Amino acid sequence: MMAEFLTIQGMKIEVERMGSGSPLLVLLSEEAAFERTSPFIQDLARSHELIMPQAPGFGRSERPDWISSPDDIAYIYLDLVEQLGLKNIPVLGLSLGGWIAAEMAVKDDSFISKLVLVNPIGVKIGGPFDRDIQDIWTLHPTKVAELKYYDTDFGKRDYSNTPEEEVTIVARNLESFARFCWEPYMHNPKLKIRLPRIKVPTHFIWGENDGMTTAAYGKAYSQHLPGAAFATIAKAGHYPHIEQPAAVLQQVKSFLA
């Protein structure tokens, strides 16, 4: 894996590249620290050159105080796409990365050939008193793991032998995730209205057992994009690409083929 820093809107953004083949822009989730070296990403890199930016405040990317939402990050990433000269490229967004990908696409999808969204957050489906997205900040960690994972072993973390630099990145990622998604909680009230602007072929992939954002939420999300496809992955929660990498990879490859 190779990493470089690009200066975008006056800040340094870390961009990692790995693999070979046709390029694929991958927008990582809030679990980027673990996701970037996961079996799913490793397998995907066998058929694609993966371009993986770290969002402001994630990894080693800078985070100026003025950045407060995924909407802000979308504009930064659009400038990054332009600086890298990416054209007619598929985009894969994972959870938070899926939200950012949707924010980018409603603004400008001219560079996107196809869009794959895996359990994206970012919209409010129900009414003001409906709990569309579970409040992961106030629940006990054990309950949060049960909501996020079909097999809670995937949510266990042992930092006892982890280098301090890596633990610092995990903590920084978590703090940035909370900053960007705290209020309004996990969504942009305007995004749902803008989703029909996305005209590129789009495929939603959802963990069938997601308790944080249910498959019903995902299906309703997808229906705001005319013609979008929707598929569920059995025995998987909010991160199906982590729990069932082969099944998600098959969906991605089939759609991008």
For residue 155, what are its two tokens?
């949510």
Which CATH number do you get for residue 250? 3.40.50.1820
Task: Please tell me the predicted confidence (pLDDT) of residue 159.
Answer: 84
211: containing domain: 2-256
Assess whether pLDDT exceeds 90 at residue 160.
Answer: no
Flag the least confident range among 64-73, 127-136, 228-237, 241-250: 127-136
Dump pLDDT digits (tens) for 97-140.
999 999 999 999 999 999 999 999 999 999 988 999 999 999 99
The beta-strand segments (E) located in the chain are 2-8, 11-18, 22-27, 48-53, 89-94, 112-118, 202-207, 229-233
Check whether 194 has a pLDDT greater than 90. yes
Confidence bin at 171 (pLDDT 50/70/90): very high
Cα(155)–Cα(249) distance, integer angstroms: 20
Residue pair 147/235 in contact by the 8 Å Cβ criterion: no
Q: Report the Cα 155 to chain-centroid distance in Å.
A: 17
Measured in whole angstroms, the distance separating CA 36 from the mean position of its chain's CA atoms is 11
Short-list 222, 228, 249, 247, CA closest to 236: 247
Residue 231: HSE in the Cβ half-sphere, 13 Å Cα cutoff: 18
Report residue 1's pLDDT band, with 50, 70 and 90 as the boundaries.
confident
Mean predicted confidence (pLDDT) in 48-64: 98
Closest to 204 in 3D by CA, of 121, 115, 134: 115
Q: How far apart are CA 121 and CA 213, in angstroms?
A: 8
pLDDT band of residue 27 (cuts 50, 70, 90) is very high
Cα angle 220, 127, 231 (rounded to 5 degrees) comes to 15
pLDDT-derived band at 6 (thresholds 50, 70, 90) equals: very high
* Mean pLDDT of the 187-196 span: 97
pLDDT at 87 over 90: yes
Predicted pLDDT at 215: 98
| pLDDT tops 90 at residue 206 | yes
At 181, which helix (H) or strand (E)?
helix 164-181
Written as six digits, the tokens of 251 are 């969906």
- CA pair distance 172, 180, nearest whole angstrom: 12
Domain count, the chain: 1
Supply 74's token pair.
């979308």
| pTM tops 0.95 | yes
Residue 157 pLDDT > 90: no
Residues above pLDDT 70, as percent of the chain: 100
